[in-house]
Structure formats: structure tokens, C-alpha cells
Amino acid sequence: MSGLRRKSVTPPILIRNARQLLTLRGPKGARRGPELNELGVIPHGAMLIRDGVIEEVGPAVRVENLAAARGAVEINAVGRLVMPGFVDSHTHLMFPPPCTPGEAQREHESAVKVLLTMTGHRLERRGRGYLDAMARHGTTTVEAKTGCGPHESAETKVLRVLAALQGKPLDVVATLLFRFSRAGEGSPEADGAAAEWMCGELMPKIRRRRLARFADLEWDPEPWRQELFRRFLVTARELGFGCKVHADDAMPAAAVRLAVEQEAVSVDHLEHIGPAEVEALAYSQTVATLLPGASFRRGRYAPARALIDAGAAVAIATNFNPCDTPALNMQTAISLACLAMRMSPAEAISAATVNGAHSIGCADRGLLAYGKLADILILNAGDYRELPEQLGTNLVHLTIKRGKVVYREGEVAEGD
Ligand SMILES: [Zn+2]
């Protein structure tokens, strides 16, 4: 019996010969201020994985000679960079649906209509296509939001599709994104009723069905909505959701204050924040999630340097959205964070891995250490400082998700 059992156990995997291995080992929790520059670099590193989890990480001379490494399946990373998979902690993966290139941005209501006309299967196929592309570019965990407005069947449809996509092959962390109808279109009565329905009906239902882990808020400055926003976050916390706030408005001071007051896990965008908000975030546990791809399109960047220098915990993500930010490559987010937001390559890498993980409550990934998930990248680079320089090049040679190779770079055929 024991012999049979031994045979069924998959052999460990040994990643050998890495030119440079980034462990990201460091303090528990999100990295802030100067900690973002500490990548825990091991030159000539190796690591051992078993059953989807990391067993050993260290210098090749030690790890490759361990008894446990005998009989392991070997992956040769010679000349290459080994690092944790990217955690894309802010995407709008399924909503709004894609626009025709060149088309003016679609109205919210018509985007909801398009979504409702599509079958669940078709939506799932589309989502699967995006997730495959993300895996090819090195993302191993993705957060994905709803955001269809006060519309139960649309919100539930997106959440069911996200549940169906879970683990195929990436981990998908679902977030319920609450938004009112556009500013200027609501009324205190209609918004009050929408908030009542969201807090009293939809959120408890989604919590019971475990369809989302986070509750996010599309903040806007409409005065009568401020108490409704607070109520949304208070209710979300009572129900056990982690909270997030979209603060992409031109006057985001009240949004940041609310996020910090309600101990939101993250507050995102932040293109327009000033010194007071920087300071508030530096003294809070809330992660400042910056979206360089969205900023590039809108022409205004969040003050990354001021946030990090003040001691804030900063994450970066793509804000991927099939309609108005269809850019899903975290390597590009890292390049833009360095080239346009003056983050150092090490800060950007920490922000795209370990801090992204903390901003979606996943402390079990984003770093390479004993017991963490074996979500690993092998990149065509010998040094991590090459990452931001190679703007637009996909450097991924291999993506490993929970110990399984889910993407391997293809070969170019020789011409005749
Ligand atoms: Zn967003």
C-alpha cells in the first residue's frame, strides 16, 4: 500500500542555475518606504518545489546538492532571472466588454446591455483568452472587479463567470465593485434606494454564495452620496469583505480619508492626490495601488515618489479593462512606473509582486520562500534592472503556477 502511495506522488521540481534569483524575502506585510528596494537577491540561485509549494530557496551550490533534490525534475534557468509571478491586483477583466477600436467609449447602460446579451459560455471563453495572455506575460494571480452598476443579474453574471475561470490556470480574486449611475444623473432618492438594495440585499447574498472576497467603491464627489459610500464600506466590513476604494476623481481627498478611516485594504488610482493624502496613506495600513497604464492614457501619474519617500506601501497593477485600458502586461506597468513615475526597478518589482499580493489579502504569494505558493517566473534577463529598460518586450521564458508550467516561450523557426 505504501509503495503504491509513493508512486503516485509527483517528483519535486528543481530550478537550477539561475543567474539571479529574487526572493523578495523581508518583513511580514506590505513593504513600505525603503523596504520596497529590498529584493533579497541571490546570485547563482536555485530552488526546490514540491506539490505546488516552495520547499527550498538558496544558493545553487547548496540547494542543488540537497538529498531532497535527487530525483527531481530539473528546469535549467542558466543565464536567466528567476522571480515571483506578478500579482495584478486591479483589473476590470470582464466589464465593460471590449469596444470596437476607434469607437468612442460606450455608455455604461449600453455596456450592461451588451454583457446581458452574451451567454455565460461566451463570456467565459473571452475571459479565458485574457487570462491566457496574462499567463504568457507572467501574471499568476489576478484581481477582477464587477462594476455593472445597480444591476443584480449583470453583477451576478460577471461573478459567476469569474468563479468559472478560477484556477484555469490563474487564481482569480473577485471583487464586487459598487457604483451609482454617473454623477449628475442620480438623485438622493434613487441613490438612497440603490444603496439600500446593495447593502441590504445584494452584498449579503454575494457573501453567502462566496462569490466575491472584496467590496470596492467607485467614489465620486456628489455630496449626498458621501454617507451612502460610508454605509457601503461599513456594511461590507461587517459582512466580512475586505474593502477597496477607487479614487480617480480630480478631488480625491475625501475618498482617501474615507478609505483610511474604514481601514480599506487598498485605495487605487490616486492620480490627483496632494501632500495631505500622501501623509495620511503613509501613516495607514492601506496600500496605495497605482495604475501606470491608466495614467499613461489619461496623461497624469500618481505621485509614486512622494508616497514611497513618505513611507507608504505602494502596489502597481494594470487596471486592465477590455474597453478603455486593454493593456494586460505587468512588465509594461513596471516599465512605466520606472520611466514615468521615477520608481526604482526594485521598488516597481516589489510593488508588482509582494505588495500586490498583500493588497488582495494573499500573503501566501508574491515572494519566494519556504511554504509559499510556487508561482514563479523565469525571464530572459540576467539582471532585474533590465526589466524596465525592455519596454514592450515580453521577457517571459517560463510561467509556473502552483508548481506547474503553464506557459513556455515558443521557438522561432529557422528560415530556408
Ligand atoms: Zn479601475
96 Cβ contact list (under 8 Å, min separation 6): 106, 108, 111, 114, 115, 147, 321, 322, 323, 324
Is residue 416 included in any domain, yes or no? no
Rounded Cα gap, residues 228 and 48, in angstroms: 50
Rounded Cα gap, residues 409 and 394, in angstroms: 10
Percent of the chain with pLDDT over 70: 96
| Closest to 164 measured CA to CA, from 155, 174, 154 | 174
Cα 391 to averaged position of ligand 1 atoms, centre (Å): 23
- 8 A C-beta contact, residue 338 and residue 296: no
What does the pLDDT average to over 344-369? 98
Cell of 230: 460610508
Cα 24 to averaged position of ligand 1 atoms, centre (Å): 26
Percent of the chain with pLDDT over 90: 88
81 Cβ contact list (under 8 Å, min separation 6): 18, 19, 20, 21, 22, 377, 378, 379, 380, 381, 382, 383, 384, 386, 395
Query: Domain tally for the chain?
Result: 2
Q: Are residues 155 and 245 in the same domain?
A: yes
What does the pLDDT average to over 139-160? 95
Is residue 363 included in any domain, yes or no? no
Cell of 377: 517566473
The DSSP call for residue 411 is: P
Rounded (10°) angle between helices 120-136 and 152-165:
50
Rounded Cα gap, residues 123 and 118, in angstroms: 7
> For 43-92, what is each residue's pLDDT tens digit?
999 999 999 999 999 999 999 999 999 999 999 999 999 999 999 999 99
Residue 4: pLDDT over 60: no
pLDDT, averaged across the chain: 94
Q: Are residues 386 and 290 in the same domain?
A: no
3-state helix, strand, coil in the chain (%, to 5): 35, 25, 40
Cα 221 to averaged position of ligand 1 atoms, centre (Å): 17
Q: Are residues 215 and 160 in the same domain?
A: yes
How many other CB atoms are found less than 10 A from the CB of residue 102?
5
Name the pLDDT band for 150 (thresholds 50, 70, 90).
confident
Rounded Cα gap, residues 396 and 85, in angstroms: 10
Residue 107: pLDDT over 90: no
Domain that holds residue 168: 86-358
Q: Are residues 394 and 279 in the same domain?
A: no
Provide the pairing of β-strand 266-269 with 287-290: parallel
Strand-pair partners of 289? 268, 315
What is the longest distance spanned by two Cα atoms in the chain?
A: 71
Q: Are residues 139 and 38 in the same domain?
A: no
- 8 A C-beta contact, residue 330 and residue 355: no
pLDDT value of position 3: 44
Q: Are residues 79 and 91 in the same domain?
A: no
Q: Are residues 315 and 272 in the same domain?
A: yes
- Which residue, of 336, 358, 380, is where some domain finishes? 358
Q: What is the CATH number of the domain that holds 155?
A: 3.20.20.140
Cα 108 to averaged position of ligand 1 atoms, centre (Å): 14
Cα 74 to averaged position of ligand 1 atoms, centre (Å): 40
- 8 A C-beta contact, residue 122 and residue 157: no
- 8 A C-beta contact, residue 203 and residue 235: yes
pTM for the model stands at 0.95
Q: Are residues 350 and 390 in the same domain?
A: no
175 Cβ contact list (under 8 Å, min separation 6): 143, 144, 145, 146, 212, 213, 214, 215, 216, 244
Cα 319 to averaged position of ligand 1 atoms, centre (Å): 5
> For 309-350, what is each residue's pLDDT tens digit?
999 999 999 999 998 888 999 999 999 999 999 999 999 999
Cell of 138: 507572467
Is residue 207 included in any domain, yes or no? yes
Cα 199 to averaged position of ligand 1 atoms, centre (Å): 21
Q: Are residues 374 and 354 in the same domain?
A: no
Query: Reduced to 3 states, what is the DSSP secondary structure of residue 203?
Result: helix
Q: Are residues 184 and 173 in the same domain?
A: yes
Is residue 414 included in any domain, yes or no? no
Cα 178 to averaged position of ligand 1 atoms, centre (Å): 12
Q: What is the CATH number of the domain that holds 50?
A: 2.30.40.10
Rounded (10°) angle between helices 152-165 and 108-117:
60
Cα 162 to averaged position of ligand 1 atoms, centre (Å): 17
Q: Are residues 53 and 43 in the same domain?
A: yes
What does the pLDDT average to over 349-373? 98
Cα 356 to averaged position of ligand 1 atoms, centre (Å): 14
Q: Are residues 65 and 39 in the same domain?
A: yes
> For 216-271, what is each residue's pLDDT tens digit?
999 999 999 999 999 999 999 999 999 999 999 999 999 999 999 999 999 999 99
CA dihedral 161, 392, 384, 324 (to 10 degrees): -40
How many other CB atoms are found less than 10 A from the CB of residue 392?
8
Strand-pair partners of 81? 20, 379
